[in-house]
Structure 1
Amino acid sequence: MRRLEQAGEEKDENFKGEVKADEDVKEEEDVKAEMEAEDKEEVESERNIDDPSNRNSYCLFVRPADCADYLMQGYTRSGVYMIFPFTCSCNKGVKVWCDMETDGGGWTVFLKRQRATYQLSFNRTWAEYKDGFGNPYNEYYMGNEYLHAMTHSRSYALRLDVEMATGGFNYATYEMLTVANEDDRYRVYLSGSSKSSSSTTYCFNYLSGRYFTTIDRDHDSYSGNCAANQGGGWWYYNCRYFNPTNAGFNQTLEVTCNYRKMKVTKLQLKIRPKICDASYKTIHLSELGCGCRRPH
């Protein structure tokens, strides 16, 4: 009888051990399944961030610094987009016109002028040129503070496109543009090689090294104030040469490139990352520690 009781106790202990082992195995399997689910969710989340068709995830986690970022995300139609040049200010964005067609696309337009029923006044103050003004669907200036932030975070090429009043299009490019900060009066620098159509060959000749001038801040090399004379803000050398913001838009805009005058109906100045055959670095604010965090 004692032997039967001992055998029963041993069997009971063995059963308990088997149950405990089964519970341990089940717990391990549950943990493993949970980890696999989390990994799958993480991969899916990352895929959604990079998928242009998933606009909500894209807007939550990735902030395009310029139009080239949008192009790399699959956006190929020219139009108005919101960009975020300030990498450490999560909510500081600006609407711009993105040229997604010219020379491969990805151009951020910072000055846009065109014939309109109501011509926008470019006779503005220093503060207005600093922050930008106008409507990117029509005429506008993006703002010097944005230009400075962008050109000091990446290397940008500069491009001028004009539609001639006589028909046809002309252009000019410079390999690299940099705009200094406000303390340095938004001084502009051009470097590298340049290309252009015949009529726009000298448009950028006297631009590099100039300080920005407006009607209330005179930083040009002329004895007077070129902004007050011409009715617009610009990096003036003197009051005669290239000034795309002048106030004289009456059906056509007249600009002078080293004594050569042009009458145009449309004008755009735009920038794009200098190295266009390499992958653009999209700004992930969660990586830069700017206060934007991915939800868990």
Structure 2
Amino acid sequence: MRVVWACLWTVEDVNKAQEFRQAARLDEKDQELQEEDESLLQQNHPVDSFMTGPVDCADYLMSGANTSGVYEIYPFTCACSSPVQVWCDMETDGGGWTVFLSRQRQSPQENFNRSWVDYKNGFGNVSGEHWLGNEILHKLTASRDYSLRLDMDYQSGALHYLTYASFSVANEASRYRVTRTGSSSGTVSSNCFYSRGSSFTTYDRDFDSYSGNCASVKGGGWWYYNCRYNNPTSPYNQGLNYTCYYNSVVRVSKLQLKIRPAICDSPIKTINANSYNCGGCE
């Protein structure tokens, strides 16, 4: 589905168009009216100055979608971009969450011991285990402020979560460095997303602070600082061994990391779907 967000006219523009219509005979002026409408639209909101589709799951939420599932978003600026399939969580804490990491029991399990390029572009099936892609994460979080949420289902049956008020990922030249700031809240320690502003590390690109390579030691790719704490992309052996506390390991059967525009965290949970300005197509 390809959605074009409506470009809002000013009151003066609308009045001008209405006066023009009233003064014209519709059977003779149809073409002229169409040209006038298009001219006003171009003057106030050039077509290539707006996204041609929803940028994230929050856009779908604000357009009325309320069912979790696979949706198409357009994070790569302007009309020349192709849609990207994502899993939208429309139920948790008001919905509108774009999932970028999902781990769960499935057969076969997705291989997360991947290269830098794989983590850059994303892999897996968005209906199951997957990594959305570091480049997409950068494009999304560079466009506006996002908050982060971690949801974990323990094998014991307990459900836990952690949120951060602000989350962003830098570009590839900056090694997809992660920044998560602001207050955190939830039912688990903030160590469950331990990063300290780290660059991303994979087995073939080592940017952590450890003397070796944490991705080679732990498996998977992550914003490692050292190899002590969490590793949500580690091999799934009947569950994840997840470390949120020093020398304390829990077994996690399902895990999701997801982002949502920070403005949606306010009580009204509203966003301006027409606020996206984009530059040249990439």
TM-score bracket for the superposition, by shorter chain length: 0.7 to 0.9
Q: 2:271 aligns with which of 256, 280, 288?
A: 280
Name the counterpart of 1:253. 240
2:197 is equivalent to residue 202 of structure 1? no
Q: 1:236 aligns with which of 210, 224, 238?
A: 224
The whole-number CA distance in structure 2 between the counterparts of 1:132 and 1:88 is: 21
| Structure index of larger Rg | 1
The whole-number CA distance in structure 2 between the counterparts of 1:97 and 1:119 is: 18
Name the counterpart of 2:160. 170
Letter of the 2:206 counterpart? D
Letter of the 1:167 counterpart? G
Spell out the pairing of 1:25-174 with structure 2 (5 A cutoff): 29-30=24-25, 34=29, 38=33, 62-88=52-78, 90-174=80-164
The whole-number CA distance in structure 2 between the counterparts of 1:209 and 1:85 is: 23
2:202 is equivalent to residue 214 of structure 1? yes
The whole-number CA distance in structure 1 between the counterparts of 2:148 and 2:209 is: 23
Retained in 2: the 8 A contact 1:62–1:283?
no
| Partner SS, residue 157 of structure 1 | strand
Aligned residues: 243
Cα deviation for residue 209 of structure 1 reads 1.1
The whole-number CA distance in structure 2 between the counterparts of 1:219 and 1:148 is: 18
Aligned CA distance change for structure 1 residues 280 and 30 (closer, same or farther; 3 Å): same
The whole-number CA distance in structure 1 between the counterparts of 2:28 and 2:79 is: 39
2:257 is equivalent to residue 264 of structure 1? no
Cα deviation for residue 34 of structure 1 reads 2.5
When normalised by structure 2's length, the TM-score is: 0.79
Cα deviation for residue 132 of structure 1 reads 0.3
Q: Name stretches of at least 5 consecutive residues in structure 1 with no aligned partner.
A: 1-27, 47-60, 292-296
The whole-number CA distance in structure 2 between the counterparts of 1:78 and 1:223 is: 42
Query: Structure 1: which 4+ aligned runs deviate by more than 6 Å?
Result: none
Q: Name stretches of at least 5 consecutive residues in structure 2 with no aligned partner.
A: 1-22, 42-50
Report percent identity of matched pairs.
53
Cα deviation for residue 178 of structure 1 reads 1.0
The whole-number CA distance in structure 1 between the counterparts of 2:70 and 2:244 is: 29
| Partner SS, residue 243 of structure 2 | strand
Retained in 1: the 8 A contact 2:112–2:221?
yes
When normalised by structure 1's length, the TM-score is: 0.75
| Partner SS, residue 67 of structure 2 | coil
The whole-number CA distance in structure 1 between the counterparts of 2:279 and 2:182 is: 34
Name the counterpart of 1:51. none
